[in-house]
């Protein structure tokens, strides 16, 4: 890959190498790596590779060229930690992947008890050296906030997190036990609550525990974490999930997800917004956000799965399958890809191949009904009535178990393939009445296409998702310009979208992104901005950003921030653009504006 396509403000932090024999030092190495990733992710305009992809290279010897090609970054950090009883030596190197040279190396000799200071110091040092090398970055005075717990307890916390991030059942349970002990000693420390919640949710999602049981166990830990620290990026992301999947309030879900994104850019936040857009049927916009998730975490199995899932929803089955298989290559225990590999084979007219595939499944896919449900779908497609009915009866036995979600999903899909529309709608209604999250993903399902015109089905979907694009009139595009009625309608719709989703807070927002939200071609939206607002794309979006800045700069929490920090928080990614556009719009500089309002 040539350097011309590489974002020069992009960096990966490879896992720090443990140079001691102590396993405890291993916990610290992983914790230090994560903290530096999180610290650098707070810097506006800096694309930081997420944890999953960084840790993919743990204990692997790699060259600068491999990092450039596989992670698509211009710079990476590698380091090591050597620890004795009362001394710790941390060596950090920064490597340019384009020209393959070490342009900075530093050794830090510190006491092991200075753990929080070390994390912040190294994070800031890296940021400063990076700025010297690649150009201006807006850096806060602190990147890592010290945690108000004794160092010994924080070390225990790192140990617990080390085990849960291994993502298997045995280590997750071991990690939860350690973290519960940490909570007992420091009940006001929010991190272990969030991590226990994460461990249970992961086990439920991956089929290592029944989903209902896992989420029920996770819930109280999440609620406590939110009570202790509602404003962290992780807390906001969890609130977004609750608002979407439990409360079915997409407007609030977007608000929390966008707030999480303001605090820290991370692939799972982009993936979450992609999920929400999928629920609404805005699949082009979902692809755009997933692009950003994959840029930050190209080795996250779930990101590749979701790319395949989106292509499946768009009925592009042959494109979907390689992404789904790539996800399984990265994480063979991920439970979702086998469902859609099999269904994609089925829906592309290969029922016998799909039946063989589902029949060959083992492990998680058997326990979570993928094998049973998939085979029953194949029998429905092949008109093998007796085998299909046997499968339906067996699936129905799971409706009163922890696998109720999966049982309903497969029963709905099987009956749709059998063309039992009334039965499908009865099942959807039952799922809706039980507030099962699966209802939200029935909305864009290609297998339910012929059920979607039924009034009962529409009513249920519109109750669950009031602004459901699947039930708006499909737009037919003509070569002529938009007429005055269309311009009026779309200008109102675009204004509402900008306010609801706060798209302008994304510094990388493009005309293509706007177009995907409106479900219009990009050239139509460009024309709409010119005719409806008398603005080009930059002028239109930056007007929102200036208004956001004017609102934020006068708030109490902005008093400790620089003008540019607030400008970046408002969606700008350039000091020159901000100053120029602000003066053009307001007739005065941002500094004069602030002073005049403070004097009043």
**242-259 pLDDT tens trace:** 888 878 888 888 889 988
When pLDDT is averaged across residues 544-563 and rounded to a whole number, the result is: 86
Burial classification of residue 235, based on how many CB atoms lie within 10 Å of its CB (0-12 exposed, 13-18 middle, 19 or more buried): buried
**Could you tell me which CATH class the domain 3-134 is placed in?**
alpha beta
Q: Taking CA 90 as the corner, what is the angle to CA 84 and CA 92, rounded to the nearest 5 degrees?
A: 160
CATH architecture of the domain with range 257-471: Alpha Horseshoe (1.25)
Closest CA to 237 of 198, 181, 203: 198
Confirm if 84 and 21 have CB atoms less than 8 A apart: no
In DSSP terms, 91 is beta-bridged to 80, 107
Decide if domain 151-229 falls under CATH 1.10.390: no
User: Is the pLDDT higher at 174 or at 142?
Assistant: 174
- Predicted local confidence at residue 480, as pLDDT: 47
Sign for the CA dihedral angle at 292, 296, 302, 308 comes to positive
Q: How many CB atoms lie within 10 A of CB 296?
A: 28
- CB of 81 within 8 A of CB of 28? yes
DSSP codes joined into one string, 93-115: EEEETTTTEEEEEEEEEE-TT-H
Decide if pLDDT at 146 tops 70.
no
- CA angle, residues 368, 372, 377, in degrees to nearest 5: 120
The tokens describing 500, both together, are 């609801």
Q: Summarize pLDDT for 256-307 with one digit per residue, the tens.
A: 998 888 888 888 899 999 999 898 888 888 898 898 899 889 988 899 999 9
User: pLDDT band for position 562 (50/70/90)?
Assistant: confident
In the three-class reduction of DSSP (H, G, I as helix; E, B as strand; rest coil), residue 542 is classed as helix
Pairing between strand 17-18 and 75-83? parallel
Structure confidence at residue 143 (pLDDT): 60
In this prediction, residue 139 has a pLDDT band, given cuts at 50, 70 and 90, of low
Which residues of the chain does CATH 3.40.50.10610 include? 3-134
Per-residue model confidence as pLDDT tens digits over 164-214: 888 788 999 999 999 999 999 999 999 899 999 989 888 877 667 776 788
Looking at residue 224, what is its pLDDT? Answer: 93
For every residue of 366-432, DSSP letters joined together read: HHTTHHHHHHHHHHHHTT-HHHHHHHHHHHHTTTTSTTHHHHHHHHHHHHHHTT-HHHHHHHHHHHH
3-state DSSP assignment of residue 316: coil
> What number is the average pLDDT over the span 326-353?
92
Backbone angles phi, psi at 383, to 5 degrees: 60, 35
The enclosing H or E element of 18 equals strand 17-18
Q: Does residue 474 surpass a pLDDT of 50? A: no
Asked if 431 contacts 439 with a C-beta cutoff of 8 angstroms, the reply is yes
Question: Chain-wide mean pLDDT for the chain?
Answer: 85
Distance (Å) of CA 94 to CA 50, 91, 103: 17, 10, 6
Q: In terms of Cα–Cα distance, which of 545, 546, 543, 523 is closest to 533?
A: 543
Which token pair is 493? 């719709």
Q: What share of the chain is helix, strand, coil (3-state, %, to 5)?
A: 65, 5, 30
Q: Are 100 and 64 in contact (CB under 8 A)?
A: yes
From CA 179, how far away is CA 199, in angstroms rounded? 11
Could you give the percent of the chain with pLDDT greater than 90? 30
The strand pairing partners of 80, in sequence order, are 17, 91
Q: What is the pLDDT of residues 53-104, one digit of tens each?
A: 998 998 888 898 999 999 999 899 998 999 877 788 889 898 988 887 787 8
Closest by Cα among 476, 418, 472, 413 to 445: 413
Most confident residue range from 18-22, 261-265, 379-383: 379-383
In this prediction, residue 386 carries a pLDDT of 95
Residue 476 reports pLDDT greater than 50: no
Whether residue 426 contacts residue 435, with contact meaning beta carbons closer than 8 Å, is answered with no
pLDDT of residue 211: 67
Q: Is the pLDDT of residue 129 over 90?
A: no
Q: Which residues of the chain form CATH 1.25.40.10?
A: 257-471
Query: What is the per-residue DSSP string for 154-171?
Result: HHHHHHHHHHHTT-SHHH
- Structure tokens belonging to residue 274: 């992609």
Classify domain 484-599 at the CATH class level.
Answer: mainly alpha
| Bigger pLDDT: 597 vs 457 | 457
User: Residue 532: which pLDDT band, with cuts at 50, 70 and 90?
Assistant: confident
């Amino acid at each position: 890959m040539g350097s011309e396509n590489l974002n020069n403000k992009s960096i990966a932090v490879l896992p720090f190498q443990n140079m001691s024999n102590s396993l405890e030092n291993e916990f610290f190495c992983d914790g230090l790596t994560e903290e530096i990733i999180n610290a650098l992710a707070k810097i506006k305009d800096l694309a930081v590779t997420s944890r999953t992809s960084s840790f993919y290279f743990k204990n692997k010897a790699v060259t600068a060229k491999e990092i450039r090609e596989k992670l698509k970054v211009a710079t990476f950090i590698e380091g090591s930690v050597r620890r004795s009883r009362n001394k710790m030596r941390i060596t950090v190197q920064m490597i340019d992947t384009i020209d393959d040279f070490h342009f900075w190396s530093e050794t830090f000799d510190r006491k092991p008890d200075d753990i929080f200071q070390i994390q912040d110091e190294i994070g800031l040092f890296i940021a400063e050296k990076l700025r010297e090398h690649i150009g201006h970055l807006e850096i806060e005075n602190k990147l890592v906030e010290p945690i108000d717990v004794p160092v010994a307890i924080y070390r225990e916390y790192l140990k617990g997190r080390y085990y849960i991030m291994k993502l298997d059942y045995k280590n997750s349970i071991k990690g939860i036990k350690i973290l519960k002990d940490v909570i007992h000693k420091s009940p006001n420390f929010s991190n272990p609550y969030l991590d226990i919640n994460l461990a249970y949710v992961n086990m439920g999602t991956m089929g290592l525990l029944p989903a209902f049981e896992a989420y029920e166990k996770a819930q109280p830990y999440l609620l406590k974490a939110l009570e202790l620290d509602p404003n962290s990026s992780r807390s906001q992301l969890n609130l977004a999930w609750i608002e979407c999947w439990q409360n079915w309030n997409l407007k609030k879900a977007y608000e929390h997800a966008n707030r999480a994104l303001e605090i820290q850019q991370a692939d799972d936040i982009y993936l979450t917004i992609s999920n929400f857009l999928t629920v609404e049927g805005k699949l082009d916009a979902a692809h755009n956000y997933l692009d950003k998730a994959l840029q930050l975490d190209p080795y996250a199995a779930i990101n590749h799965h979701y790319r395949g899932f989106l292509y499946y929803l768009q009925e592009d089955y042959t494109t979907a399958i390689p992404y789904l298989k790539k996800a399984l290559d990265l994480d063979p225990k991920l439970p979702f890809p086998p469902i859609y590999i099999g269904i994609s084979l089925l829906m592309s007219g290969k029922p016998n191949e799909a039946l063989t595939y589902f029949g060959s499944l083992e492990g998680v896919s058997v326990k979570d009904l993928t094998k049973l449900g998939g085979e029953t779908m194949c029998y429905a497609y092949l008109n093998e009535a007796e085998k299909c009915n046997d499968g339906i009866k067996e699936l129905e036995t799971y409706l009163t178990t922890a696998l109720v979600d999966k049982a309903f999903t497969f029963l709905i899909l099987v009956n749709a393939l059998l063309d039992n529309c009334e039965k499908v709608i009865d099942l959807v209604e039952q799922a809706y009445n039980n507030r099962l999250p699966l209802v939200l993903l029935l909305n864009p399902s290609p297998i339910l296409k012929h059920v979607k015109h039924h009034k009962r089905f529409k009513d249920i979907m519109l109750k669950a998702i009031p602004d459901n694009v699947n039930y708006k009139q499909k737009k037919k595009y003509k070569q002529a310009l938009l007429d005055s009625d269309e311009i009026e309608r779309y200008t109102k719709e675009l204004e509402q979208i900008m306010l609801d989703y706060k798209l302008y807070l994304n510094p990388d927002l493009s005309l293509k992104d706007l177009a995907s939200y409106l479900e219009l071609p990009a050239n139509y939206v460009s024309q709409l901005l010119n005719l409806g607002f008398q603005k080009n794309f930059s002028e239109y979006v930056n007007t929102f950003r200036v208004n956001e800045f004017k609102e934020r700069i006068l708030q109490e929490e902005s008093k400790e921030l620089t003008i540019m920090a607030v400008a970046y928080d408002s969606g700008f990614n350039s000091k020159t653009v901000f100053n120029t556009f602000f003066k053009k719009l307001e007739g005065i500089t941002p500094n004069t504006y602030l002073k005049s309002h403070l004097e009043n």
